A = this chain, B = another copy of it.
Amino acid sequence: MQGKTQFNVGVDGGGTKCRAEIFDNKGSALGAGIGGPANVARVGEKATGSIVDAVTRAIEDAGLAGRVLLSQCRVSAGLAGATVEAARQMLDQWRHPFATFSFITDLHAAVVGAHGGKKGAVMVVGTGSCTASYAHDKVQQYGGHGFTLGDKGSGAWLGCEAVKATLEALDGVAPSSALTQAVCEFYDAYSTGEFVNKLNNGLPAEFARVAPLVFEFATRQDPIAGDLVHRAASYLSAIAERALSDCEGNLVLIGGLSELVRPYLNARVQRAIVPAQFGPEWGAVLLDSMRVQ
């Protein structure tokens, strides 16, 4: 409490970048800034540098450089990986340069922001997939267990399943289709050996790159693409319904593939879809202010 005005800053931290927004005291965004990766479970202390960078740039973007110090910022961050105990301990011990610093998971910030702090649900479909509900100050997650154990229906899952189907076609134990031929062209691989060399250690994002192609071929009645998209949508509808039944609210779609999968979701889930009210940056700030009260 230095007697100076304090500004709320919300941070949305993910695996490739983090984004900060600085708000005035009415909740209007004054500026935004981008920093490096901030998945605290993966990049550890490097995340704290990314957060400081993003906040600094948001202050600059707001035209407040030199007038607003980091020590005047109340920073609230929604961070990927913040469920991991070691990452939480690191953040708790961080000697941050801000007025205050609090954190929750990126999903928590997203669901609170999406419904403006009221009860509701979100479904994320991008490289990964999951749903979450927010009600009675509690967040409940479904799916989103990572590339190895789940993330069914996600871009990484759709892409990896498409590659597996292509390998089975190349091995002659399953039918080929226009999709499997397109997958060969996409990865410039025409034998099982070439696929293994290129994708055996492929990261989720490398598989997710081909996912839009699966949706494209599904609309063209390709049987393999259609089957994959329907399996994806069936699982996503199931985890969406779990989240919706928790909160008896609406559903906000998030992530680069969510609009592509939307027409395949079941009718109950589709009827619950609404646009997001706010982003995760404001969600993090809202949560922090609700805690303080």
Contacts and interface: CB of A to CB of B under 8 A. Distances in A.
A199 B149 contact: yes
Contact of A149 (B83, B84, B150, B163): B163
A106 to B, nearest CB: 15
A145 B195 CA distance: 9
Contacts of A193: 83
Interface string A190-234: 001101110111100000000000000000000000000000000
A31 interface: no
A143 interface: yes
A201 B171 contact: no
Q: Closest 3 CB pairs between A and B?
A: A173-B238, A142-B171, A146-B200
9 contacts: A84-B197, A142-B171, A143-B173, A149-B160, A149-B164, A149-B167, A149-B200, A150-B164, A173-B235
A148 interface: yes
Contacts of A160: 148-149
B149 A195 contact: yes
A192 B146 CA distance: 11
Given A148-B201, A149-B199, A149-B200, A143 B163 contact: no
Contacts of A242: 171-173
Contacts of A172: 142, 242
A275 to B, nearest CB: 26
Nearest to A141: B192
A195 B201 CA distance: 22
A149 B147 CA distance: 12
Interface in A56-89: 83-84
